[in-house]
């Protein structure tokens, strides 16, 4: 990942998309965030160990029919711009207005909400874009009895392996309830964070190499960009950790204790990522110091060169200046070996200086 | 927001207005803070789903009549200079003397107090002034059965959308009790913090741009001002977080559990703001370092220029000095190609030096 | 407050007065600290809503007579040098030997001890001395049924308003028990901290002004003094916070729940002060950085001046050196416009250099 | 330990081997990590106070036969590449699929899992390699009734003393259950950390010596390497601390309360190591500062030399320049003692300068 | 305390003496640490309010006879090299093998262990050596019913006052049980820490004075030594704090609730010391910054001198160079006032420069 030319705006870092129009009542449905898909689309997969029914591009009426589904069902909403549709869907499934608002606000802080008959989990996905940048999307999950509703800000290509697995009859997803699918979705999202972490590690390594090979270039801009990137990751991961912790420690009837073990595994991964981010932040700070020291060393070298040349030649120039004076009465001028003597004196001075520098380890 | 010419006084930052005259008994009513409105004014709105009665500029007697109101009522006190009036109002509604003191002391730390039959919440509003500064006002809320009393240090223009909503029959405020209005007031105050955060983000971006475009100007003064601003925000937000946490975690009969969910949403926003402030503080520190490094680079460049010029010409000047000497016996002087040879020697020295600098990547 | 000429000794900061002679048994009564009053003095005020009896300079026997007093009584011991007297008084009122030791050791860390039938609270007062230094005294309070015994290291002039209030029949002190007086004493002590905080704020502002007006003076000595001052304040306030927290959270029969609210108010003030100190510490650190950067800027300016002069004149001096050579065969010497040409060349070089510097924004 | 030529890759530090192929279902058995042994090998030791039976290179069938062993048994699996074999063994002993995955993933964060009838503990070993680098291997332990299964990433030579002790009839291992062996294994692993810590201490001492003997060499690269090493150690030790804490504080029927005391001893060692790492991290930071200061001092010395030479000879060169001018009308030129006077003036200037420098302690 | 010539080895700081031979079974008795006394010696004092029996140099058999002593008894073991003897004594009094190991390992982290019928407390003593260094010894205490066994690494001279007090019939030790003696021992050890703290304070003051009087000397080495010293103290004090906290908060039948108050007093002292160490650490960091700034100031002054001399004389040298040229056609040469004019020009340039420098406050 090259540090992108356009610097990441601080504003974006701080409050990505929470610009709810102040003063609007809570629960006003406005999609906050860039529109990333053409149209909001609802797809559904109904599955069990032996059969799988997939329907695409459902209307709101069809989509609302799964409220008492007896088979594990995954209702997938892609694109958040059709707030009317999502609002209706939310009402159909009895979601709290605030949660619908959270689903639509793509600047929402990741969190878990445990409601009476459903669990709400909203989080961020992190992906490396083709040009090596980090793309962050929001995914919100509703876990109900036999039903998962997932809201995706855009098509998430990294979910492809999940689709493949759900199509295999022998896969664990097919042979478990929706709580396992819930876990599988979160797991695949968290696994993707590792890729981002790896790209940051590469950036740090590159900066380190650059400092040691050609320290004079200003790499502090890149170091500051990495710092921003890591701050962004930390800000994203931290509340996910909190959310998962809530899921694991609370006794939720919708999640089988067996699946809680799996969520615990995801939690461990998040902790691992979090600790790695902290480690990278320290390393990045260290890089800055190494760079500044390299700079100081360079400056030192420059100064020593100047000092050596100047302290050798300035006295010599003075010496030759003396005999450039036009005094009538300068006995040395007429001496036979005057010129030779001056050379000897000057060579002596130079050697003395060089010896002096040698002793002080300047050359 | 330009870093205002007059630097924010540290004293103001530290203890804005808490200069209670030491030794006065607790509960002595003195309005501490600048007077921001002409006169203390009491207005009242009595509302329910179908009707709304608004009365302005009440006297103390009228204002005291809502103690057992059966309809949701919002008693609004604007301006804190008439301490007598506010003291009387407080007594009429049975407020603890210390709380009245807190209402009047505009340097009060935000806090929540749960009393037997009312809840006290005092906080700070943050607004961007027309000249892009941050204005902080104090708002104190008393939540009683069917009654909210709000004490405003000055007219808060950002409350306008709330007035509009309360005038709409179908609005949620009108169809809920005062606990929803309580939430709505806090929500709109917290939403305004985002604007301030955004302005700070802009300042940081500006400083960053300035550093990369013309690093030689001293931006550290601005960086220090941003630091002060962020410290001030942090100091303001931190106790609000505490207060909201108390409101959410305690089981308060005056607040419907349904509304607690809404307050939880506000709490999430405050956490988000708090984390953003921490992020900005780190970025700001990073900026300082980038700036100092840019400065070092600049100095390095200056030194290299000096060194190149000096190390090339000082030896040459010595050479020409030699042949400026007036010794009688200087054989080279009379040589036919003496002058030419000197030029050749000097060009050779220059080229050697340039090659040397090239190798060290100084030019 | 001018940073006092004599620097505060680090040793004093660390352990003011705890030099208990190692190896002495616990409870050996030695007054540790400078003696600040001429003679230990015991005064008493017995009061209720309607009457007030004041007796001064009691002997030990009189002073011991209030053990079962039925009216609120304030026994005030000023000066700690008469350890015998204080020891006797302690025994008369059944104080634990360790507490008497704590009262006498003016380097004692502030703390609260809840005993079976009394509460012990020892703390530090902070006052601004006439020459703007900070004076720290120790005050220890014993709260018994209907009795407060206070031990003062010296006469505390800032208590004057309290004496006035206790003389007013309608004052709250007169109309409440000794628990209110207990609160009033702590409140007035904490209120005095604000003055000290304010003086530190002023010092910080002064340093800031000095840096921006004449950065070349070394202000880091002052910054270090402020740091010491703030460390001292932090060390003093922190345990007071702990102590007050204990008083508030524990259910103490001697303190009416109504008065606990008042103590909670004092606690809030202490928190406020503590946070302010933390804020100032950060600002002070920031000042140091601003100063160092100002210094760097100054150096940069010096270097640029040197570089500009040197890089313009060193080549010119070389040029004039050439034509100062005495070679027989130097055709240019005899040219009609040789001298003029040299001037033109030199002016061209100078202009080129100036243009170059302009481009790099050095001039 | 010489700072190895090839710098430790940041990526390796961050996420050593957790590159699970994203999207694979949980429990897919892939050995993640470099293959360190030729072939997965299973060995078993069955022992009690009087007898010891050792069998090597068991097949899966033999290895699965110890599920209800009545004598203390240690089943040792060396090498993790045969995932099929380990998967089968796991199934034979009823291990949770996630744990088998953890065993195979050598980038697993150390942790303890308490299952219904077994305890799972996975940790890292740290060893000094012959060329003084740090080698980290993963060891996972399963503690069942009368059975320990240990999974080693490679042959661990430092376990040799343990093998010796288990062969001695009178040893404590032989006279205790597998819970003591469990302790002994963890103890020997933790003891090895001390060796690594010691090597880091040596590196820090070396850097310190180098800074004070020849500060001009760039040691910051080494300081940054030590920082990485310490971050790596901290990241490794921290979760081990957590794991041991769980083992000690939970009441596990498989571990005799008597043996918990022993584990507490190991826990103390881990705390000790952790605190030492923190201490070293601070020292390492201090080293960096000492180095930068030494560099500054060096630069200062260089600058002083230049300044002394230049400020003495530049004025003198000017003086001799004056009398090199060719004006017709220069009276001094013809004076008898002109030349002598110039020398006297120049010597006076030099002495004045030297005196000046002496006064300022530059020479 | 002069910063001792030989720098404290980092290794020593990290792990003083824990070099247990890896792989040895737990409970192998090896005395780890330098041998500080000639021979392990056991002395005993049996005392009550009226009588005191002292026996010296007991054999193991005599020493083991106090297991059911009915009078308060202090069994004192000085010197840890005779591991056999100490092991036997431990067995005689039923000590856990791990604790005996802890007693012998002088690198043991201070800790408290509450066993069924005894309390184990191991800690470090800190003493100032005659040459002003810090000596750390280990003391382990076993508190049984009516019996204290203390293990001293060496003769502790600072215990002398304790011996004196135990010989006085009216002393509190004589009139209380062994729990008071237990307190008295810990108290005298902790009191000694204050002396060390004081010596560090002195070192910091000295460094500060040195920086302000002659900043050019490198004091950063000393600052780094103080940092090490403080890290060492912090590492020592921190676990003692933990241990005392356990003693106070746990309800131990062996310690009278009355004596717990005394231990609480010691605990307060330890907290005080801990906070003081933290304060000193910050001051020490501040010193470093003040020093670096003083260095920068010095450099600045050097640079200004160079710049002033160079910028005045370099142009002048150029001017005199011009008229040293040998052009045939130089009209000014022959002017009557040519020489005078040049002088006037040069003086004008100098004055202009000086004025310029004055304005910029360089001179």
pLDDT tens-digit readout, D50-63: 899 999 999 999 99
**CB proximity E361 to C under 8 Å:** yes
Token reading at B298 = 């600049």
Find tokens 């705006």 and name the residue. A9
All partners of chain B with 3 or more CB pairs under 8 angstroms: A, C
- Give CA–CA dist A267/A273, Å, rounded: 10
E134, β-bridge pairs: E128
All partners of chain A with 3 or more CB pairs under 8 angstroms: B, D
CATH topology for the A10-18+25-293 domain? Beta Polymerase; domain 2 (3.30.460)
Residues 341..360 of A with a Cβ closer than 8 Å to B: which? 342
**CB proximity D98 to E under 8 Å:** no
B124, β-bridge pairs: B138
B205 with A25: Cβ contact below 8 A:
no
- Give CA–CA dist A358/A363, Å, rounded: 5
- Give CA–CA dist E138/E122, Å, rounded: 7
Handedness of CA C343, C345, C349, C351 (dihedral sign): positive
Predicted confidence band at D150 (pLDDT cuts at 50, 70, 90)? very high
Token reading at E287 = 């010193």
- Give CA–CA dist D196/D158, Å, rounded: 13
C295 with E293: Cβ contact below 8 A:
yes
- Give CA–CA dist D276/D280, Å, rounded: 6
Residues of D whose CB is below 8 A from E214? 361
- Give CA–CA dist E20/E122, Å, rounded: 18
Per-residue pLDDT of A129-156, as tens digits, reads 777 677 888 999 999 999 999 999 888 8
Q: Is E24 left (phi over 0), alpha (psi -120 to 50) or beta?
A: beta
Which site among B10, B221, B235, B350 would you substitute to test the C interface, given the most C Cβ atoms closer than 10 Å to its Cβ? B10
Q: What percent of chain B has pLDDT over 90?
A: 33
Distances (CA, A) of A5 to A222, B211, D302, E295: 10, 16, 40, 39
- Give CA–CA dist E363/E356, Å, rounded: 10
Provide the greatest CA pair distance for chain D: 121
B205 with A109: Cβ contact below 8 A:
no
D205 with E20: Cβ contact below 8 A:
no
Per-residue b or e along D128-155, where b marks 16 or more CB atoms closer than 10 Å to that residue's CB: beeeeebeebbbbbbbbebbbbbbbbbe
Task: Report which secondary-structure segment, H or E, holds E29.
Answer: none
Q: How far does the CA of residue C327 sit from the closest CA of chain B (Å)?
A: 5
E208 with C10: Cβ contact below 8 A:
yes
C149, β-bridge pairs: C75, C142
CATH match of B10-15+26-293 with 3.30.460.20: yes
Which pLDDT value is given to residue B37?
Answer: 66
Q: Mean of the pLDDT values across residues E124-144?
A: 86
Strands (E) in chain A, as ranges, are: 41-47, 52-55, 73-78, 111-114, 119-128, 134-144, 147-152
Superfamily of domain C10-293 in CATH is: CorA soluble domain-like (3.30.460.20)
Burial class (CB within 10 angstroms; exposed 0-12, middle 13-18, buried 19+) of A238: middle
**CB proximity A328 to B under 8 Å:** no
Tell whether the model's pLDDT for residue E91 goes beyond 50. yes
Which pLDDT value is given to residue E216?
Answer: 60
Residues of B whose CB is below 8 A from C237? none
Per-residue pLDDT of B67-97, as tens digits, reads 889 899 999 999 998 899 999 999 999 999 8
**CB proximity B286 to C under 8 Å:** no
State the pTM of this model. Answer: 0.80
Q: Mean of the pLDDT values across residues C11-40?
A: 54
B60: CB partners within 8 A, 6+ apart: B42, B85, B88, B89, B92
Predicted confidence band at E37 (pLDDT cuts at 50, 70, 90)? low
Q: How far apart are the first and last CA of chain A?
A: 41
Domain E299-359, second-level architecture: Up-down Bundle (1.20)
Q: Which of E236, C228, A310 is nearest to D302 (CA)?
A: A310
Find tokens 């004019």 and name the residue. E341
CA E179, E185, E189 angle in degrees (round to 5)? 145
CA D144, D146, D151 angle in degrees (round to 5)? 55
**CB proximity A281 to B under 8 Å:** no
Which pLDDT value is given to residue E19?
Answer: 38
Using the 8-state DSSP alphabet, how is residue A238 labeled?
H
All partners of chain E with 3 or more CB pairs under 8 angstroms: C, D
D26 with A265: Cβ contact below 8 A:
yes
Looking at the partner chain, which of E9, E22, E321 has a beta carbon nearest the beta carbon of D192? Answer: E22
Burial class (CB within 10 angstroms; exposed 0-12, middle 13-18, buried 19+) of A57: exposed
Which pLDDT value is given to residue E107?
Answer: 82
Q: Which of B234, B236, B235, B241 is nearest to B263 (CA)?
A: B241
Per-residue pLDDT of A311-334, as tens digits, reads 899 999 998 898 888 888 888 888
**CB proximity B213 to C under 8 Å:** no
Q: How far does the CA of residue A63 sit from the closest CA of chain B (Å)?
A: 27
Q: In what order do the strands lie in the sheet with A147-152?
A: A52-55, A41-47, A73-78, A147-152, A134-144, A119-128, A111-114
Looking at the partner chain, which of D160, D282, D300 has a beta carbon nearest the beta carbon of E231? Answer: D282
Q: How far does the CA of residue A338 sit from the closest CA of chain D (Å)?
A: 16
Q: Is E174 helix (H, G, I), strand (E, B) or coil?
A: coil
D296 with E291: Cβ contact below 8 A:
no
Q: Mean of the pLDDT values across residues E248-268?
A: 89
Tell whether the model's pLDDT for residue C18 goes beyond 70. no
Find tokens 């720098």 and name the residue. E7
- Give CA–CA dist A321/D323, Å, rounded: 9
B330 with C327: Cβ contact below 8 A:
no
Q: How far does the CA of residue B262 sit from the closest CA of chain C (Å)?
A: 27
Q: Mean of the pLDDT values across residues C69-93?
A: 92
Which pLDDT value is given to residue C207?
Answer: 87
- Predicted-assembly ipTM surpassing the 0.95 threshold: no
- Give CA–CA dist E12/E34, Å, rounded: 12
Tell whether the model's pLDDT for residue D18 goes beyond 50. no
Per-residue b or e along D94-106, where b marks 16 or more CB atoms closer than 10 Å to that residue's CB: ebbbbbbbbbbbb
Which pLDDT value is given to residue C19?
Answer: 38
Domain E24-293, second-level architecture: 2-Layer Sandwich (3.30)
- The domain locations on chain E are 24-293, 299-359
Using the 8-state DSSP alphabet, how is residue D32 labeled?
B
Q: Considering the domain C304-359 in this protein, what is its CATH number? A: 1.20.58.340
Q: Mean of the pLDDT values across residues D196-217?
A: 82
Residues 150..209 of D with a Cβ closer than 8 Å to A: which? none
Per-residue pLDDT of D282-332, as tens digits, reads 888 888 888 887 887 788 888 888 888 888 999 999 988 988 888 888 888
CA C325, C326, C332 angle in degrees (round to 5)? 70
Distances (CA, A) of E294 to C4, D287, E202, E220: 20, 20, 21, 12
Beta strand D73-78 pairing with D41-47: antiparallel
Contact C281, C235 (CB under 8 A): no
- Give CA–CA dist B362/B304, Å, rounded: 7
Token reading at D52 = 């010891």
Looking at the partner chain, which of A11, A231, A306 has a beta carbon nearest the beta carbon of B205? Answer: A11
Looking at the partner chain, which of E109, E238, E324 has a beta carbon nearest the beta carbon of D325? Answer: E324
Q: How far does the CA of residue A320 sit from the closest CA of chain B (Å)?
A: 5
Contact A44, B242 (CB under 8 A): no
Tell whether the model's pLDDT for residue D214 goes beyond 80. no
CB atoms within 10 A of CB D293: 22
Superfamily of domain A303-359 in CATH is: Magnesium transport protein CorA, transmembrane region (1.20.58.340)
């Amino acid at each position: 990942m090259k540090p992108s030319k356009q610097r990441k705006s601080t504003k974006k870092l701080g409050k990505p998309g929470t610009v709810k129009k102040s003063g609007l009542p809570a629960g006003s449905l406005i999609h906050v965030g860039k529109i990333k898909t053409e149209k909001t689309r609802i797809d559904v997969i109904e599955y069990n160990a032996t059969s799988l029914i997939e329907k695409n591009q459902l209307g709101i009426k069809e989509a609302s029919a799964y409220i008492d589904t007896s088979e594990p069902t995954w209702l997938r909403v892609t694109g958040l711009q059709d707030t009317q549709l999502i609002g209706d869907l939310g009402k159909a499934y009895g979601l709290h207005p605030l949660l619908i608002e959270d689903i639509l606000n793509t600047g929402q802080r990741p969190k878990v909400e445990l409601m009476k008959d459903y669990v709400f989990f909203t989080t961020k996905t992190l992906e490396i874009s083709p040009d090596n940048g980090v793309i962050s999307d929001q995914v919100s999950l509703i876990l109900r009895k036999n039903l998962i509703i997932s809201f995706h800000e855009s098509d998430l290509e990294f979910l492809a392996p999940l689709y493949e697995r759900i199509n295999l009859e022998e896969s664990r997803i097919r042979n478990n309830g929706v709580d396992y699918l819930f876990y599988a979705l979160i797991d695949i999202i968290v696994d993707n964070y590792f890729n981002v972490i790896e790209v940051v590690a590469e950036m740090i390594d590159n900066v380190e190499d650059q400092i040691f090979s050609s320290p004079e270039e200003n790499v502090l801009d890149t170091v500051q960009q990495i710092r921003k990137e890591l701050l962004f990751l930390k800000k994203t991961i931290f509340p996910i950790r909190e959310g998962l912790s809530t899921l694991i420690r609370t006794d939720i009837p919708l999640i089988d204790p067996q699946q809680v073990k799996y969520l615990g595994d995801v939690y461990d991964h998040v902790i691992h990522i979090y600790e790695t981010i902290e480690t990278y932040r320290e390393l990045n700070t260290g890089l800055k110091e190494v760079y500044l020291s390299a700079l100081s060393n360079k400056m030192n070298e420059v100064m020593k060169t100047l000092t050596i040349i100047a302290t050798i030649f300035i006295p010599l120039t003075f010496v030759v200046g003396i005999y450039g004076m036009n005094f009538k009465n300068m006995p040395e001028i007429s001496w036979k070996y005057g010129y030779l003597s001056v050379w000897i004196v000057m060579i002596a001075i130079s050697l003395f200086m060089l010896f002096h520098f040698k002793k002080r380890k300047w050359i």
